[in-house]
Amino acid sequence: MKHYPSGGWQVLILLALWGPASLLAQSQKDTSFVSKLDALREASYSDKAVMAEQLSQTGHPSVRAVLTALLEDRLYYRNSDQKIFIAKVADADPLDLIEPLSLKGAGSAPADGFTKIGTNNGLRHTLKMTVAHFSLSSPDASVRMDAVREMMLSLDEPTVALLRERAAVETNSSVKKEIATGLALADLDGTDAKARLAAVGVLSHSVSHDVRNRLALLVDGEKDEQVRQAAVSALQTIDRWRTFYSDIETLFFGLSLGSVLVLIAIGLAITFGVMGVINMAHGELMMLGSYTTFAVQAVMPGHIGASIFVSIPAAFIVSGLMGILMERTIIRFLYGRPLETLLATFGVSLILQQLVRSIFSALNRSVITPDWMSGSLRINDALAITYNRLYIIIFTIIVFALIMLVLKRTRLGLDIRAVSQNRAMAKAMGIRTEWVDAMTFGLGAGIAGMAGVALSQLTNVGPNLGQSYIIDSFMVVVFGGVGNLWGSLIGGISMGIFNKLLEPYAGAVLAKIFVLVALILFIQIRPRGLFPKAGRAAEDK
Amino acid sequence: MAAKQGLTIWNPTASGDRGGKIFLSILAVLAIAVPLLNQAVPASSALHLSPFGITLIGKYLCYGMLALAIDLIWGYCGILSLGHAAFFSLGGYAMGMYLMRQIGRRGVYGDPVLPDFMVFLNWKSLPWFWHGFDHFGFALLMVALAPGLLALVFGWFAFRSRVTGVYFSIITQALTYALMLSFFRNDMGFGGNNGFTDFKDILGFDLHSDTTHVVLLVVTVAALAASYLACRGIVESRAGRVMHAIRDAESRTRFLGYPVEAFKLWIFVFSAVIAGVAGALYVPQIGIINPSEFSPINSIEAVIWVAIGGRGTLYGAIAGAVVVNYAKTYLTGSFPEIWLYALGALFVIVPLFLPRGIIGLVSARGQHK
* pLDDT at residue A482 is higher than 80: no
Residue A390 clears pLDDT 80, i.e. is over it: yes
Please tell me the predicted confidence (pLDDT) of residue A25.
59
* β B205-206/B288-289 pair status: unpaired
* Cα–Cα distance measured from residue A299 to residue A378, given in angstroms and rounded to the nearest whole number: 34
Reported as a single tens digit per residue, the pLDDT across A209-257 is 888 888 888 888 777 888 888 888 888 888 899 889 988 988 998 999 8
d(CA A450, CA A456): 10
DSSP E strands: which ranges in A58-125?
Answer: 75-78, 84-87, 95-98, 105-109, 114-116
pLDDT attached to residue B367? 52
The percentage of residues in chain B with a pLDDT greater than 90, rounded to a whole number, is 48
Q: Which amino acid is at A292?
A: T
- The domains of chain B are located at 23-296
Which residues 13-72 of chain B have a CB within 8 Å of chain A? none
pLDDT (tens digit per residue) in B3-30:
444 444 444 444 457 888 888 999 999 8
**Which residues of chain A have a CB within 8 Å of the CB of B345?**
347, 351
- Kindly report, residue by residue over B177-191, the tens digit of the pLDDT: 889 988 998 888 898
Q: Distance between CA atoms of A309 and A320, rounded to whole angstroms?
A: 17
| Dihedral over alpha carbons A336, A340, A342, A347 (to 10 degrees) | -140
pTM to 2 decimal places? 0.76
3-state secondary structure of B175: helix
Q: Are strands B201-202 and B205-206 parallel, antiparallel or unpaired?
A: antiparallel
How far is it, in rounded angstroms, from Cα A242 to Cα A247?
A: 8
Q: What phi and psi values does residue A273 have, to the nearest 5 degrees?
A: -60, -40
Nearest-CA neighbor of B120 among B106, B110, B133? B110
pLDDT for A255-300, tens place per residue? 998 998 999 888 888 887 667 777 889 999 999 999 999 999 998 8
Residue type, B267: I
Check residue B6 and give its pLDDT. 41
For residue B28, give every residue at least 6 positions away whose Cβ sits within 8 Å of its Cβ, in sequence order, or none: B225
Q: Is A343 on the interface with B (CB under 8 A)?
A: yes
Q: Is the pLDDT of residue A480 over 90?
A: no
Q: What is the pLDDT of residues B96-106, one digit of tens each?
A: 999 999 888 88
In the prediction, which pLDDT does B366 show?
A: 52
Strand partners, B196: B289
Give the distance from residue B243's alpha carbon to the nearest chain A alpha carbon, in angstroms: 16
For residues A300 and A279, give the distance between their C-alpha atoms in angstroms, rounded to a whole number.
33
Q: How confident is the model at residue B2 (pLDDT cuts 50, 70, 90)?
A: very low
pLDDT band at residue A174, thresholds of 50, 70 and 90?
confident
> What is this model's ipTM?
0.80
Best of A355, A359, A523, A526 to disrupt the B interface (most B CBs within 10 Å) is A523
Please list every residue in chain B whose beta carbon sits closer than 8 Å to the beta carbon of residue A474: 170, 173-174
| Nearest Cα residue to B195 out of B208, B185, B206 | B185
Cross-strand partners of A86: A75, A98
Cα–Cα dist A402/A174, whole Å: 39
For position A303, what pLDDT does the model report? 84
**Mean pLDDT calculated for residue range A344-356:** 91
The pLDDT of residue B15 is 47
Checking if the pLDDT of B74 tops 80, the result is yes
CB A445 within 8 A of CB A319: yes
CB A151 within 8 A of CB A133: no
What percent of chain A has a predicted confidence (pLDDT) above 70? Answer: 92
Residue A19 has pLDDT above 60, yes or no: no
Query: Considering only CB atoms, which chain B residues are within 8 Å of A344?
Result: 347-348, 351-352
Neighbours of B160 (CB within 10 A): 13
The pLDDT-based confidence of A365 (bands split at 50, 70, 90) is confident
Tens digits of residue pLDDT in A106-157:
777 887 888 888 777 778 777 777 777 777 777 788 778 877 877 777 777 7
Write down the pLDDT at residue A136. Answer: 78
Q: What is the reported pLDDT for A284? A: 93
| DSSP E strand stretches across A117-174 | none
β-pair partners for B205: B202
Residue A81: predicted pLDDT: 81
Lowest mean pLDDT among A36-50, A384-398, A437-451: A36-50
Q: How many CB pairs under 8 A join A and B?
A: 128
